[in-house]
Amino acid sequence: MSAQFVALEYFVYYLIAINLCAFLAFAVDKAMAESGGWRVPETSLLGWAMIGGTPGAYAARAAFHHKERKQPFSNQLHGLACVHVILLAGTLLYLSFA
């Protein structure tokens, strides 16, 4: 197995773990919002998204209808998603010429 393949495999595991954590953080925040308990700070939710958990954050928002209309939170999450798409496109473009 090449070193590049192993690195890619670990990166995929990282993304799975981060997106699961982001999804669960949104789920916990929704449950706490409904029960009136301690909430997960928005900075933490956005932090999970920023380090790669944007798909998990969007999946949780859709599954739990949580923080869908909250501004500026939604704009910040959309901004992070745009940055991730640009980084992914740049990486794929770079790899296509390498």
> Which pLDDT belongs to residue 7?
87
CA nearest 63: which of 13, 28, 32, 39? 28
| pLDDT 10s digits, 29-61 | 999 999 999 999 999 999 999 999 999 999 999
Q: Tens digit of pLDDT for each residue in 54-98?
A: 999 999 999 999 888 889 999 999 999 999 999 999 999 998 987
Predicted pLDDT at 89: 96
Q: State the pLDDT at residue 2.
A: 85
User: How many domains does the chain contain in total?
Assistant: 1
Q: What domain range is 69 assigned to?
A: 3-97
CA distance 30 to 79: 22
Burial of 91 (0-12, 13-18, 19+ CB in 10 A): exposed
Global confidence as pTM: 0.89
